[in-house]
């Protein structure tokens, strides 16, 4: 799969799970200011690309949903079963309301002190979402490249639950996000997918322990992933300016949240 976008005056491309020749790389450099290649196997024709090697949890689907579900952690299976008994709990795959999903995603990313992707980029991905009593509780964006589904973002209305001090909603959000992975596995099997890639996992950073624990609950195999990136010198300068602007936006959002909390007290 390839995703082509405009970033300011520049054209950029992300390439997923595709083997490229040296000639392919040369042609891409003529057209794009930034090239990112993500693969489960090391590539040999990218000598001047920066390599970031990480770990990723891969759920293998070849032996069917029953066997896949058995490999989920006991507590994860129990929480998924609870969602099936919740009145007013619904799943949408694909979600046909990307605007609502984007607003939840954007607020979630900013609350985590991360800069959200643009709505235009967000709309390039497929969304699976959970609602409870008609309220959006959690969502996952993903893309499919041949026989691999890769998770792009996991987000929820957790900040709303905290603001409202709604402990019941907070619990449902946790159950719902696990249910979405379950639904994604079913979707993958019906679409001849072999691997659900839950995206990078960090097993050593204490600040990322919560998401690592979540991704470790589905019986996935922890394997290497290889991300190769190349940027033109002009694009590097452009990114520095964009990063400074993004930090200002996140800081502004954090100040608004603090002000809101003070008013509510």
Q: The whole model's pTM is what?
A: 0.82
Tell me, what's the pLDDT at 8? 81
d(CA 149, CA 58): 10
Buried (b) or exposed (e) across 146-162, using 16+ Cβ within 10 A?
eebbbbbbbbbbbebbe
d(CA 181, CA 185) in angstroms, rounded, equals 6
pLDDT reported for residue 95? 86
Using alpha carbons only, give the angle 202, 245, 154 rounded to the nearest 5 degrees.
35
Residues 6+ apart with CB under 8 A from 49: 35, 37, 228, 229, 230
Residue from 211, 178, 175 nearest 86 by CA:
175
DSSP 8-state code for residue 201: B
- What is the percent of the chain with per-residue pLDDT over 90, rounded to a whole number? 51
Q: How confident is the model at residue 160 (pLDDT cuts 50, 70, 90)?
A: low
d(CA 1, CA 28): 15
Locus of tokens 């922890």: 222
- Is the predicted pLDDT of residue 166 greater than 80, yes or no? no
pLDDT at 1: 82
Q: What percent of the chain has pLDDT over 70?
A: 89
Name the band, by pLDDT with cuts 50, 70 and 90, for residue 261: low
Residue-range domains of the chain with CATH:
56-223 (3.40.630.30)
* 265: pLDDT strictly greater than 60: no
Summarised one tens digit per residue, pLDDT across range 60-99 is 999 999 999 999 999 999 999 999 999 999 999 988 888 9
Mean pLDDT rounded to a whole number for the chain: 87
CA dist., res. 39 & res. 228, Å (int): 8
Tokens standing for residue 252 = 């502004």
What is the spatial order of strands in the sheet that 10-16 belongs to? 2-7, 10-16, 34-39, 221-231, 50-60, 195-197, 148-156, 135-145, 126-132, 89-92
The pLDDT of residue 128 is 95
Q: Is 111 helix (H, G, I), strand (E, B) or coil?
A: helix
How many residues are listed for the chain in this entry? 265
């Amino acid at each position: 799969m390839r995703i082509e976008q405009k970033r300011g005056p520049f054209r950029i491309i992300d390439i997923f799970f595709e083997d490229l020749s040296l000639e392919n790389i040369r042609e891409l450099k003529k057209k794009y200011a930034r090239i990112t290649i993500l693969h489960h196997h090391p590539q040999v024709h990218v000598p001047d690309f920066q390599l970031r090697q990480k770990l990723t949890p891969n759920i293998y689907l070849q032996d069917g949903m029953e066997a896949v579900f058995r490999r989920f952690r006991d507590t994860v299976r129990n929480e998924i079963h609870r969602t099936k008994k919740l009145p007013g709990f619904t799943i949408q795959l694909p979600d046909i309301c990307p605007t609502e999903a984007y607003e939840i995603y954007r607020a979630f990313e900013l609350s985590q002190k991360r800069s959200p992707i643009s709505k235009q980029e967000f709309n390039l991905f497929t969304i699976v979402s959970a609602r409870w009593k008609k309220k959006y509780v959690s969502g996952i964006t993903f893309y499919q490249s041949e026989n691999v589904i890769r998770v792009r973002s996991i987000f929820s209305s957790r900040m709303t639950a905290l603001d409202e001090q709604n402990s019941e909603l907070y619990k449902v959000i946790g159950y719902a996000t696990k249910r979405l992975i379950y639904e994604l596995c079913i979707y993958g099997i019906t679409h001849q997918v072999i691997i659900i890639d839950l995206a990078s996992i960090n097993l050593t950073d204490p600040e990322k322990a919560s998401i690592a624990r979540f991704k470790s609950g589905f019986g996935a195999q922890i394997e290497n992933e290889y991300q190769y990136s190349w940027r033109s010198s002009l694009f590097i300068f452009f990114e520095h300016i964009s990063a400074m602007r993004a930090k200002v936006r996140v800081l502004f959002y954090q100040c608004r949240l603090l002000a809101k909390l003070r008013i509510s007290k």
